[in-house]
Amino acid sequence: MRFLEDIIVKFGSVDRRVIFVLIGLAVLVPLLNPVDLAIRPTPSSQRVYDAVDSIPDNSNVLISFDYGPSTRPEIHPMTLGIMRHLLSQDRGHKIYITCLWPDGLYMAKDALKIINEEYDLVEHEDYVLLGFRPGNEAIVKGLASDLRKVFTVDAAQTPISEIPMMEGINNLNDFQFMFTGSAGYPGTFEWVQYGADPTGVPLSSGTTSIQVNEVMPYVQSGQLKGILAGMPGAAEYEKLIDTPGIAIQGMAAQSYGHVVIVLFIILGNLAYFITERRERKY
Amino acid sequence: MIWKRYIPIAIVGFFGSLTLFGWFIENEGIKAFIDDDATQWYDIIASFAIFLGALNLLKLQFLKVLKRQSGWEYSVVAILSFFIVFVIGFFMRGAFVVDIPNTDIQSTYFTQGAAEEAVNHLKDSGITASITPAQWGAHIQTEGGLFKWMFDNIFTPLSATMFALLAFYVASASYRAFRARNFEATLLLLAGIIIMIGRVPIGSLISSWMIMYLLVLVIGILINTYFRSRQLVFGWVALGLIGVTVLGSFMGWPIDQPAVFYLPALQEWIYTVPNLAGARAIMIGIGLGVIVTSLRYIFGLEKSYIGDQ
Amino acid sequence: MSFSTILGAWIAAFLTLGIFSYLYKDNPFYKIAEHVFVGVSAAYWAATFYWTQIYPNLFGRLFAVDSPFASMYVIDKGHEYNGLYFFPLLLGIMMLLSVFKQINWMARWGIAYTVGIAAGLKAFGYLSSNVISQIKSTAVELFSGELSFFAMSGDSIFNNIVIFIGTISALMYFYFSREQSGAYGRFTRLGVYFLMISFGASFGFAVMGRISLLIGRFNDLILFSNPSYNYGTFWMLGLIIVVLGYWSFQNPERTEG
């Protein structure tokens, strides 16, 4: 027992680089040797799925790309998942893309590139990339009031008036559903406060893990129709629409990473209690 | 004084109250101005602020180089990177699309020269192609263009890795800093651990029965620590193990029953009930704070933006 | 694969590993990557903000087809001429002029404008969405008879009571104008427990997020180590290790704990 305690205490003073290597390996190894783990969708992800599923046919759906490369692994699979879900059943939905983050423009480009390879889409008839406008909440408020003052051209500089699917789209009230892939400010908060609440258009969101807890109360109050929480949330959505992608592939690495960190916490606390007790004794 | 103090305070008061009360005013002209133009101005000025930030950054880095402060060599790197991307963004365009008419075939070149060369090449093989430079404004997002290339290969890895680096520090901190020193800290840690394990697939592999056995042992250790009675510990552990085993064989050992001890279910309860209560209190608390601060700005009580305390 | 794609992958691998090299210790590779990041971001932001806002929505209005300056210069982005937009232009230029120390107060007007608008927007947004709506959804009917007593997820009488008590007690804890002692103190203590659970959940989620981002970076590095990218990751890793090894050998005293 004492020997074991000594090892634990000694491990407590190990160089932090050893910890870095361990966590690095815990994430890297499962990525190199993929392991299949069963994914269980949580109720809040299920609510997003149900909300998207219950949009009436031939709806106008607004997707906002409010994230950048730094949080891409978490949110990119969500926006892809939502688009795949919208397009998969051939229900005539049209997709309108806006970005509150400058980087969102590039994320949207990349996502559309993938989606265009999978589905037979026509730009300006099935989807339009309106692009980025700086201004955070002021942009959302502007869109809620008059979209055509914020966007007169799309990202490729095509005048809005020449885009067939923009006919009849004047503000957020002309959409039947909105989704924001949000990495912080501006994002979910702004869409709820200035977009969904004033107009009543149903809004769902996929957020980074870090932001989930802040916006969680919106989900319970119904201001948000469900939420996808971080990469595991994205994996759950991939499972729900039955299209495995990068999020599901990452779940083994995610699991092992968590396990290693929990072990660190437990070991660290054991070391702490053992030293405490020994100090009290002597 | 008027220019430096009173006008800014008046601007905040005027536009602040206009925006705030604009929510309640039913006047088309005012409403249209607030909803559309005032917010557009905000967006435009915010964009100028970005330029100001860039100018200040350059000023700082140039000073560092001029004064030969330690690490000035790196400032040269920063200045060079700035100018290269600035030139690509504002002067070079960097996206020239070569299009073969009546086909889907097109490719994008970084420079006019490269595009012309490609067209000449095609001409040699009897194909006529045309060059369309990407429009100014569209050039920053043109697939295959230089700006997008810069974004994908320089900006993306840098910003993404900066954030990913924190994973290692979270691991190190969880090992050194998170100690169950008291009841509150223990609650925090337990909630964190249950969320961490319960939300990922591996959590659903852990049977509720294993958690129950584990709980029996942990409570046994606690009894040992606080009561120091061997009989009590032995009695509890023996009864607990037998109890769990009997219940298990009676129920047929379902992995997710009883749900209270099944991590994914328990996690969901913690997440949507006690956690929600705390998160909501924080949301309302911050909300009240933001409202009060905003009103203080509008009424001119808070003047930190002009350097007043 | 085109040369520019492979070159891009090599640069990306170099920059990624350069930043990761900070885990070993602060070193020139990290410093170079960091400063490239600073310079590139500033120019990148300037370019995107200009081309997505100032160019189409400011100059697009001032130099619209029907503007008085149309004979000199036209930017047709579908806007009508609107002279009022000289006001944000003026504030914007004043903002830029503030880099000069003598007139650095000039930025205040623009800042004041953004502060005013943000305050007006936020005061209402937070009041309606974060305060009123949240209070509304906390004050639910507890004993309507339609709910079950307990459920692991979703509405139930027990859960609603817990949320109700938890929210109130945690809010009370934020109220510092009264000494938190006695029965009141015990109630706010309960609030602290709810806050702690919430912080714990946030901690769990924070870990989750960081690991996901790491997965993303590793995925890219694995991709760039493919033969189609000419093993970019391995070459860059080798280069960084060799140079760092030599550098550490030259600067043995500069180790950090």
Cβ <8 Å between A20 and B137: no
Q: What CATH number does the domain containing A115 carry?
A: 3.40.50.10160
C82 phi/psi in degrees, rounded to 5:
-145, 105
Query: What pLDDT shows up at residue A64?
Result: 97
For residues A187 and A54, state if they share a domain: yes
Closest CA to C47 of B168, A176, B88: B88
Contact A19 B283 (CB under 8 A): no
Residue A212 and residue A90 share a domain: yes
Pick the range with the lowest mean pLDDT from B64-73, C72-81, C239-248. C72-81
Name the residue facing C117 among B42, B86, B280 (closest C-beta).
Answer: B42
Which residue of chain B is at minimal alpha-carbon distance from A193?
B287
Among A17, A28, A223, whose Cβ lies nearest the Cβ of C133?
A223
Chains that touch C (3 or more CB pairs under 8 A): A, B
Cβ-based contacts of C9 with chain B (< 8 Å): 153
- C-alpha closest to that of B175 among A257, C208, A265: A265
Interface size, chain A vs chain B, as Cβ–Cβ contacts under 8 Å: 172
Same domain, A24 and A153: no
Give the range of the structural domain holding residue A29, as residue numbers without chain letter.
Answer: 2-33+251-281
What confidence score (pLDDT) does residue C253 get? 62
**Interface touch B168/A20, C-beta < 8 Å:** yes
Chain C stretch 95-114, residues whose beta carbon is closer than 8 A to a beta carbon of chain B: 95-96, 98-99, 105, 107-114
**Nearest-by-Cβ selection for C215 from A31, A70, A135:** A31
Q: What is the rounded distance in angstroms from the CA atom of residue A69 to the CA atom of residue B159?
A: 7
Q: Could you tell me if A23 and A155 lie in one domain?
A: no
- Using a pLDDT cut of 70, give the percent of chain B over it: 99
Of B35, B155, B175, the CB nearest to A264: B175
Domain assignment of residue A188, yes or no = yes
Kindly report, residue by residue over C56-113, the tens digit of the pLDDT.
Answer: 999 999 999 888 888 888 888 888 899 999 999 999 999 999 888 888 888 889 999 9
Strands A60-66 and A203-207 turn out to be: unpaired
Amino acid at A52: V
Which of C15, C199, C215 has the highest number of chain A CBs within 10 A, making it the mutation to test binding with A?
C215
Please report which confidence band the pLDDT of residue C257 belongs to, taking 50, 70 and 90 as the band edges. very low
A38 in a structural domain = no
Of A20, A138, A161, the CB nearest to C121: A138
Let me know whether A256 and A239 are in one domain.
Answer: no
Q: What is the pLDDT of residues B112-145, one digit of tens each?
A: 888 898 889 888 888 888 888 888 888 998 888 9
Is the same domain home to A232 and A189? yes
Residue A166 lies in a domain: yes
Tally of structural domains, chain A: 2
Do A156 and A102 lie in one domain? The reply is yes
Q: Look at residue B103 in the predicted model and tell me its pLDDT.
A: 79
Partner-chain contact A255 B201, CB within 8 Å: yes
Other Cβ atoms less than 10 A from the Cβ of C69: the count is 11
Identify whether residues A47 and A143 lie together within a single domain.
Answer: yes
Enter the DSSP assignment of C66: T
Same domain, A83 and A197: yes
| DSSP string for residues in A221-266 | HTSSS-EEEHHHHHHHHHHHTT---HHHHHHHHHHHHHHHHHHHHH
Contact yes or no for A203/A225 (Cβ under 8 A): yes
In the structure encoding, which two tokens stand for residue A193, read together? Answer: 């406060």
Tell whether A239 is covered by a domain.
yes
The interface predicted TM-score (ipTM) is 0.92
This model's pTM is above 0.80: yes
Query: Quick one: A171 and A219 in the same domain?
Result: yes
Domain check: are A119 and A17 in the same one? no
Neighboring chain B residues of C41 at a CB cutoff of 8 Å: 155, 158-159
Q: What beta strand segments (E) does B78-210 contain?
A: 96-99, 106-109, 130-133
Assess whether A173 and A239 both reside in one domain. Answer: yes
Report the gap between the CA of C149 and the closest CA in chain A (Å): 18
pLDDT tier at C237 (50, 70, 90 boundaries)? very high
